[in-house]
């Protein structure tokens, strides 16, 4: 349709703006791919469920070594219980990851792979880039742990008080699993990007200040906390926490870099909308006129 008497030029082709490196993954412990994250390489497939491939990264086996190093296994009369405990941790992390993956699918996103490694698990999920869809995909993981809290609490109460003659191994096992699940939930919900708490904060802030600015804020918090926690961990000789802090810091830095790109993408998109709007209004001065 053309305004009478005035001929507009051809509608300007919308230019495309986007991130150069494509797939951007929303993961459990991180939002964006980094070489540091466990990939298919170095992982072996375990099974498929709901069309999601579950893999274990070789580094997961550091976990049993750490358990034995810590002397934690000595509290059980038989090491079968240590093995059951490790398998349960594996199961809890896996359920958490399936929470992310299935929630992501439910909002039309993509999720086809879960890799387990010593820092938890990574669900490779790509929810649609809307704050609501991202929020649900992130929060569904910790929600699994939150549901497990009362269940494990009741189990703990049952073996301690309600059922007579339970073996001390079972009592210790159930108690540890209750504590571990609770600690995982609390730690993971700290508002420190890229932990789930930080990503939740990102999705909530996204509603108010947009994707780029919200990512910038949570990534900055992540970097500051990682540096402080890393310094404290190094000072107290806590190797495991140093590794965690380095991981969090690098991921947060990557998130911050992505936020810088997003700021530019959003500005370009605003310019593009303005360009299209001016064309629609017929103020075609900017565009070539055709006779
Ligand atoms: Zn998670």
Task: Collapse the DSSP code of 52 into the 3-class scheme (helix H, G, I; strand E, B; otherwise coil) and give the result.
Answer: strand
- Among left, alpha and beta (phi > 0; psi -120 to 50; other), residue 163 is beta
If residue 161 lies in a helix (H) or strand (E), which one and from where to where?
A: none
Instruction: Calculate how far, in angstroms, residue 100's C-alpha sits from the geometric centre of ligand 1.
Output: 7
Question: Does the predicted TM-score (pTM) go above 0.75?
Answer: yes
Instruction: Calculate how far, in angstroms, residue 189's C-alpha sits from the geometric centre of ligand 1.
Output: 9
What does the domain layout of the chain look like in residue ranges?
Answer: 20-189, 190-273
pLDDT of residue 146: 96
Instruction: Calculate how far, in angstroms, residue 137's C-alpha sits from the geometric centre of ligand 1.
Output: 9
Instruction: Calculate how far, in angstroms, residue 146's C-alpha sits from the geometric centre of ligand 1.
Output: 12
Dist CA 191 CA 43 (whole Å):
30
> Which segments of the chain have a pLDDT < 50?
1-5, 7, 15-35, 289-291
Instruction: Calculate how far, in angstroms, residue 185's C-alpha sits from the geometric centre of ligand 1.
Output: 9
Task: Collapse the DSSP code of 149 into the 3-class scheme (helix H, G, I; strand E, B; otherwise coil) and give the result.
Answer: helix
Instruction: Calculate how far, in angstroms, residue 89's C-alpha sits from the geometric centre of ligand 1.
Output: 14
Instruction: Calculate how far, in angstroms, residue 286's C-alpha sits from the geometric centre of ligand 1.
Output: 49
Instruction: Calculate how far, in angstroms, residue 26's C-alpha sits from the geometric centre of ligand 1.
Output: 10
Backbone dihedral angles phi then psi of residue 47, each to the nearest 5 degrees: -165, 175
pLDDT of residue 35: 42
Instruction: Calculate how far, in angstroms, residue 291's C-alpha sits from the geometric centre of ligand 1.
Output: 60
Residue 176, CA atoms < 13 Å, CB-side half-sphere? 19
Of 131, 127, 130, 66, give the one whose Cα is nearest residue 99: 127
Q: Tell me how crowded residue 208 is: count the other CB atoms within 10 A of its CB.
A: 9
């Amino acid at each position: 349709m053309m305004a009478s008497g005035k001929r507009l030029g051809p509608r300007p082709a919308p230019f495309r703006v986007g991130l150069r490196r494509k797939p951007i993954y929303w993961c459990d412990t991180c939002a964006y791919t980094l070489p540091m994250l466990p990939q298919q390489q170095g992982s072996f497939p375990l099974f498929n469920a709901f069309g999601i491939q579950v893999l274990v990264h070789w580094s997961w086996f550091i976990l049993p070594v750490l358990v034995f190093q810590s002397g934690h296994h000595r509290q059980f009369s038989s090491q079968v219980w240590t093995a059951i405990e490790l398998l349960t941790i594996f199961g809890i992390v896996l359920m958490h990851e399936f929470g992310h993956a299935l929630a992501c699918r439910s909002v039309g996103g993509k999720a086809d792979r879960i890799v387990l490694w010593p820092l938890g698990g990574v669900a490779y999920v790509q929810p649609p880039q809307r704050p609501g869809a991202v929020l649900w995909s992130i929060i569904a993981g910790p929600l699994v742990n939150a549901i497990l809290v009362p269940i494990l609490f009741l189990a703990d109460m049952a073996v301690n008080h309600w059922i007579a003659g339970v073996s001390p191994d079972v009592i210790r096992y159930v108690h540890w699993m209750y504590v571990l699940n609770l600690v995982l939930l609390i730690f993971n919900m700290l508002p420190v990007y890229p932990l789930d708490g930080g990503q939740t904060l990102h999705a909530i802030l996204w509603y108010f200040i947009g994707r780029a600015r919200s990512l910038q804020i949570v990534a900055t918090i992540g970097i500051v906390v990682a540096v402080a926690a890393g310094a404290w961990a190094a000072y107290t000789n806590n190797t495991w926490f140093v590794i965690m802090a380095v991981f969090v810091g690098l991921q947060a830095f990557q998130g911050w870099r992505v936020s810088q790109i997003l700021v530019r993408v959003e500005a370009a998109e605003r310019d593009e909308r303005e360009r299209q709007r001016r064309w629609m209004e017929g103020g075609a001065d900017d565009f070539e006129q055709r006779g």
